[in-house]
Chains A and B, each alone.
Chain A
Amino acid sequence: GAGVSQSPSNKVTEKGKDVELRCDPISGHTALYWYRQRLGQGLEFLIYFQGNSAPDKSGLPSDRFSAERTGESVSTLTIQRTQQEDSAVYLCASSLATRQGLMNTEAFFGQGTRLTVV
């Protein structure tokens, strides 16, 4: 596609339910990021995928959060047993591969999934 696509754009779920958020990166982009953004706040890093390397999961806030990516394609972020504090916009971004010592290329963001836990 032309840009990073995220679905659904909005999700309202009941506390305790599991949710799955999807990100379709730009074709050819090997790097993929997930961020959480609470209302009026900045970006909170969650997880980073780079090609076939082991993902950097250091930002995941608890074991209720997990993410997968198959190769250089779609990624899914799963939140189990959702809590009200999980309510936020979840942003996905992708960029071209980078190598040590080279300038990082632009990160292209999707429009996000707004998750509301009631």
Chain B
Amino acid sequence: TQLLEQSPQFLSIQEGENLTVYCNSSSVFSSLQWYRQEPGEGPVLLVTVVTGGEVKKLKRLTFQFGDARKDSSLHITAAQTGDTGLYLCAGGGNAGNMLTFGGGTRLMVKP
């Protein structure tokens, strides 16, 4: 059983649309990270959130950490084709200090 569940698993939208990706767990994490992976590359860190209720913005991307530090969301405004990729959340401070990754959300933004 995965500690972190991401939804949806796949998402295909048109350029300009908004979307939200969710990362949920029954466990508490001391930190939550979001990564993006493009084809042929390894995942790259986008953001780290550490405080319950924290909101961070990165251009058109808004990340939120749940008050109880068990869940997180990523909202993309006015998606662009360059946003296409696999989005992964990763929880830290649990499971022996190991980073635990969710299963990922594969996003396709069509022109």
Contacts and interface: CB of A to CB of B under 8 A. Distances in A.
A109 interface: yes
Given A40-B106, A43-B88, A112-B42, A102 B30 contact: yes
Interface string A1-44: 00010000000000000000000000000010101000011110
A104 interface: yes
Nearest to A35: B101
B79 interface: no
Contacts of B66: none
A99 B97 contact: yes
Interface size band for A? 20 to 34
A98 B99 CA distance: 10
Contact of A50 (B41, B97, B101): B97
Interface of B: 6, 30-31, 33, 35, 40-45, 48, 50, 86, 88, 90, 92-93, 96-104, 106
